[in-house]
A and B are shown apart, each in its own frame.
Chain A
Amino acid sequence: MSSTMNLMIGMAMGLNLLALGGSRVPQVIRAVAAQGILLGVLPLMLEHEFDWMVALVAVVTVMVKGFLIPSLLHRAMRAAKIEREIDPFIGFVPSLLLGAAGTIAAVAAARMLPLLPEHTGTLLVPGALASIFTGFILLIGRVKAISQVCGYLILENGIYLFGLLLIHSTPLLVESGILLDLTVGVFVIGIIVDRIQRAFDSLDTRKLTVLRE
């Protein structure tokens, strides 16, 4: 049981690296979508017996993380006509290495944290930390708005992953995590809307430096 779960989490961590290394935006989006689906299914793995609540969470998550947001991202990408990330702040190889290092560090850090016995065996915490770390690397290292959004998605995937620790005790809190996707939605809609207004050229955040001291 937990072995399959660990496997899935491991895949999710792999997807992190893929997102880090991917220079083409669609590839990053696909990685994120796949990660979303994986995470969406996870709660079912956690459960010993079937539970409507959890199932609902799973379905909603899969729908939103796996399909809705990625499709939005695709639309935004098309609207903005950008295919690839050009000279990011942190290059692809460095970010890959960073990500790998972060993953290892995450595993190490998770050892130190006092966990409940049922969580000690799982990769939940390492996966969460790794994804959060990855998310930050993307947020900091990428210049295209859409890649940043992907970074944010991975960040929140990590948080969601962490939230799964509490899925039994306080499912509601975990579900509320879905709201973060709303943020993402707002991002993307913002981009699209603004793209239509043509105010925001090529979604290059390097151009977003009018407001400064």
Chain B
Amino acid sequence: MTPGAFLLAAALCLAAGAVLGRGNPRLWLALTLGAMAATLTASLIVCEGAVDWEWRSPLAPGGEPLHLRLDGLSALFLALLSVVGGASAVFSRGYWTDEEHPDSAPSSRMWTSLLLAAMGSVLLASNGLHLLIAWELFTVSAYFLITLDRRHRDVRAAGWLYLGASHAGTMCLFAFFAALSARTGSWDLGPVREQAGLAPLFWLALFGFGVKGGMFPVHVWLPSAHANAPSHVSALMSGVAINMGIYGIARFSGWLPLPAASGWVLLGVGSAGALLGIALAFVQNDLKRLLAYCSVENVGVILIGVGGALLAVTHGGAPWGKLAIAGALLHVWNHGLSKALLFFGAGSVLHATGKREMTQLGGLWRAMPWTAGLFAFGAVAISGLPPLNGFISEWLVYLGLFDAAASRSPGLWGVVPAVIILGMAGALALATFVKASATVFLGAPRTRTAAGARECGMLMRAPMLALAGACSVIGLAPALFWRPLERAAGSWHPAWAASEGQAPLAAAGLAHVALAAVACAAAAWLWRKAHANGLRRAPTWDCGYSAPTARMQYSGGSFSGIAMGWFAGILGPERVLHRPHGPFPVRAIRMERVPDTVLAHVMEPASDAVLRLSGAARRLQHGRLQFYIVYLLCGLTVVALLTWIGVGQ
């Protein structure tokens, strides 16, 4: 069977799910899983096979003949979409049930089906017009998913911010595709590398897709949207949706002729995003917000990889670019999987306690061991630590950049800062996730609600286990994934299709397997030894203080205090501090929140200015007829002048 058959089946299943799924959760789950399975098969056929799948049809929605294409690059993303999509579908059945959310659960199902279908079409569409349609469908359905729980003001605000930002991106895409089709004479998409005149369009594409991809200065919508969305949606958004933006950037950076500066710019925004994203993540107190900022960081890492590849291309297609792009693409996968896993974990915590603030949680490992273990697993994966998948992709990116540096290519000075920032971001990510998992799951419960938590059900546990499994497969047997990556790199830059520029994934895999095995053995051994020597439980040593309380534990805020001090210049934390003073101090407050740097210092002032302008303009509509006639005369004069000028020229 060809991929087409599977894709058709998937489309039908999703359509059926959207229609029938409202009333019937079980049927919907079955249909969605079926669709995802079919999509996965289709993309695997393309990934493992040698030929791209392409399909043109006579029927022409919007006056343009339908043209679908699945090549090495898009198949990679489609496979991820199907895996995470399926997981999220299962999770939502346990997390957003009709019993708890009678009014929004049915629409959640419908919009999820639509979202999956739309994202799939984005990956498949090979015609500008249809890609735009799919893109906007994806945007809107994601909006309605984010704002499922519309009763809360902040959810609505987050949704609106998301919608507005996305639309800004979409407008750029309007310009991009319109200009592209105006220049090339057709809406049909394909490689146009040789038409050097199109190079400037790259910037439009970069911005347009970057907004959705959570690229650094335009990531402003991402944190609040991912934090306020229901967790199964957050997982979809963070695990798949932002990858659509990355897909766009990767796709068109591969197809368009590249401006000379493209590589440098991407390295720049990537580095900035990686560093600032993780710094902001480290200082968050809201668990889901922390995860969202971590997405910004990982997008930064991915863009660093892509930027390295662009640098390589603009400097004559050096083979190290292949490693960079392969690493970036694999990191898309790793980030998608582990971030979805983490959001599921956060979701199951939220579901059990109703709390997202880490200061309200703590000691959950006792009540929810599965969640704790899986969250820790995800934390290790996303911090890029061996022996899990996160390391493999970061390692590939590193390897590409190191090769660039070692080969003393002209791009060296773009590469060096990127590498240094990658290192710093890695260390910060580790700190961030130590903080997150420890504050939430270790120590003593900080509130009664946290103490009363219960472990999540099988429907929520299973997807987490599946994702964890996927993570460890990539981590332990990375060599399996080299071929698809090579194909993708090949379809991105044809010169790299040949298998020059190998990455020693086999050796790394071996090291990982050994490490994992020995670590497990050693852990078990030490555990047995400790018990053999006699293990006694006693309260934590309190330095002789007689009445320790759970509130005295090191909180997330204090944990990130040191780093916050270093980055205070950039992050600009807002502090409220009332010291206790006088003989009988009443109360002392110390609050600290870190607003999004770009949002607070760029976007909000700008929007205020615009609103002030509009307020000034609206005063002109004051209702005085006489002045309306004056306006009319002004119009007359101006038109007259313009006509006169027109004649003058």
Contact = CB atoms under 8 A, between A and B. Distances in A.
Category for how many chain B residues contact A: 10 to 19
B626 interface: yes
A143 B633 contact: no
A205 B626 contact: yes
B538 interface: no
B625 A205 contact: yes
- The 6 A-B pairs with the shortest beta carbon distances in the complex, nearest first, are A209-B623, A212-B623, A213-B618, A213-B621, A140-B626, A139-B629
A139 B632 CA distance: 12
B623 A89 contact: no
16 contacts: A89-B626, A136-B629, A139-B629, A140-B626, A140-B627, A140-B629, A140-B630, A142-B626, A148-B625, A205-B626, A208-B623, A209-B623, A210-B623, A212-B622, A212-B623, A213-B621
B408 interface: no
A210 B623 CA distance: 7
Contacts of B629: 136, 139-140
Contact of B626 (A139, A211, A212): A139
B620 to A, nearest CB: 8
B624 interface: yes
Interface in A133-148: 136, 139-143, 148
Contacts of B626: 89, 139-143, 205
A205 to B, nearest CB: 5
Contacts of B630: 140
A212 B621 contact: yes
B448 interface: no
Looking at B618, B619, B623, B633, which has the most chain A CB atoms within 10 Å of its CB? B623
Given A136-B629, A136-B633, A212-B623, 18 more contacts: A89-B626, A139-B629, A140-B626, A140-B629, A140-B633, A143-B626, A205-B625, A205-B626, A206-B624, A208-B623, A209-B622, A209-B623, A209-B624, A212-B621, A212-B622, A213-B618, A213-B619, A213-B622
Contact of B623 (A141, A142, A211): A211
Looking at B619, B623, B626, which has the most chain A CB atoms within 10 Å of its CB? B626
Nearest to B625: A205
Contacts of A148: 625
Contacts of A205: 624-626
Interface string B609-645: 0000000001101111111011001000000000000
B614 to A, nearest CB: 10
A139 B630 CA distance: 9
Interface string A127-168: 000000000100111110000100000000000000000000
Interface in A80-119: 89
Contacts of B633: 136, 140
Nearest to A212: B623
Interface of A: 89, 136, 139-143, 148, 205-206, 208-213
A89 B630 CA distance: 12
Nearest to A90: B626
A37 B74 CA distance: 81
A4 to B, nearest CB: 33
A213 B622 CA distance: 6
A143 B624 CA distance: 10
Contacts of B625: 148, 205, 208
Nearest to A139: B629
B414 to A, nearest CB: 51
Looking at A140, A142, A210, which has the most chain B CB atoms within 10 Å of its CB? A140
Contacts of A140: 626-627, 629-630, 633
A140 B629 CA distance: 7
A49 B627 CA distance: 46
B623 to A, nearest CB: 3
A211 B623 CA distance: 6
Nearest to B619: A213
Contacts of B618: 213
Contacts of A89: 626
A63 B484 CA distance: 91
A208 B625 CA distance: 8
A205 B629 CA distance: 13
A142 B626 CA distance: 8
Nearest to A145: B625
B203 to A, nearest CB: 37
B351 to A, nearest CB: 46
A88 to B, nearest CB: 9
Nearest to B624: A209
Contacts of A210: 623
Contacts of B621: 212-213
A210 B629 CA distance: 18
Nearest to A210: B623
A140 B624 CA distance: 10
B419 to A, nearest CB: 55
Nearest to B620: A213
Nearest to B622: A212
A136 B623 CA distance: 18
A148 B629 CA distance: 11
Interface string B529-559: 0000000000000000000000000000000
Contacts of B623: 208-212
Nearest to B617: A213
Contacts of B624: 205-206, 209
A106 to B, nearest CB: 15
A212 B623 CA distance: 5
A136 B625 CA distance: 12
Contacts of A211: 623
Nearest to A211: B623
A141 B621 CA distance: 18
A154 B38 CA distance: 78
Contacts of A213: 618-619, 621-622
A140 B626 CA distance: 4
A175 B272 CA distance: 73
Contacts of A142: 626
Contacts of A212: 621-623
Contacts of A141: 626
A158 to B, nearest CB: 14
Contacts of A143: 626
A140 B631 CA distance: 10
A92 to B, nearest CB: 16
Nearest to A148: B625
B491 to A, nearest CB: 54
